[in-house]
Amino acid sequence: MTTLNDQFLAGSVPSLMNISGETVTYTPVGGAGVNITAIGGPIENVNHGASDLRAHWRERMFTITTDPSGTYGGVAAPGEGDVITDANGDLWIVEDINLEIYGLADLRCQEQTADQLLQQTVTYWAPSGPSATGGATFASPSAISGRWEDRNILFIDETGKETRSQSVVYLASDVKLGGYLALGDQTGTADPHAIDDAHEIKSWQKIPNKSATQFLRRAVL
């Protein structure tokens, strides 16, 4: 028996995607990017006041399907912090998700731009090899620009294990797995283990825009 849902999926969704859809790359936290079709809404300028670290930025809504095996691709479980690269090559971070009926999801996204995004200081300890006792050693810490979010999200780490994050950090420079990050300028401390709020990098992604002139660098702790 055909349901109303089946009829909608068979008729309206293809029409919407064919008329308004664009090919985008969807990159989940800790995962590889996949090409899907999405309906992108108009770009809106947002102003939240000068005291906000992200006082001025641009937002855009994207509608996608939640059926990865469908004609238009899709994401079964879209997540906050995932990244959409649109048809122009611009990068958008998923900030909010509204799961709709009929197998569609609306994603509110914020544009990734370095000037607006990376306004905090983050300290990075790069791994430099094992110590004589088998532990880790680190290079001298460095302060880099970033944006630190204490966000509990589900992601796949480099071993393929599904786990939950403590924080997600956007960065201006490359980092390495096994390194440590801490919020603020902590460069006076050589060993990150001496700082309670320093955490190990469990996942690391560097996502280019279409022309590879801009990158979203993201560490998951």
Residues 19 and 99 in one domain: yes
Indicate the SS3 state at residue 133: coil
pTM above 0.85, yes or no: no
Residues 67 and 140 in one domain: no
**Can you read off the two tokens belonging to residue 166?**
């403590």
Residues 178 and 133 in one domain: yes
Question: Residue 49: which region, alpha, beta or left (left: phi > 0; alpha: psi -120 to 50)?
Answer: left
Task: Give me the CATH number covering residue 203.
Answer: 2.40.10
| pLDDT score of 1 | 40
Residues 90 and 68 in one domain: yes
Q: Are 93 and 86 in contact (CB under 8 A)?
A: no
Using CA atoms, how far apart are residues 96 and 82, in angstroms rounded to an integer? 10
Using CA atoms, how far apart are residues 138 and 126, in angstroms rounded to an integer? 5
Please report, to the nearest 10 degrees, the dihedral formed by the alpha carbons of residues 67, 25, 92, 208 taken in order: 150
| Residues β-bridged to residue 40 | 62
Residue 39 structural domain: 4-113
Q: Are strands 180-183 and 120-125 parallel, antiparallel or unpaired?
A: antiparallel
Residues 93 and 129 in one domain: no
Residues 56 and 146 in one domain: no
| pLDDT score of 2 | 46
Structural domains counted in the chain: 2
Query: Given 3-state DSSP classes, what are the helix, strand and coil percentages for the chain, each rounded to the nearest 5?
Result: 10, 45, 45
The residue among 113, 131, 162 that closes a domain is 113
Per-residue pLDDT of the chain (221 residues; tens, 9 = 90+): 445 555 555 556 667 788 888 999 999 887 888 999 999 999 888 765 544 444 567 889 999 999 999 889 899 989 888 889 988 888 898 988 987 777 889 999 988 765 556 888 999 999 987 765 667 889 999 999 988 988 877 777 777 788 888 888 989 889 999 999 999 999 999 999 999 999 999 989 888 877 777 788 888 89
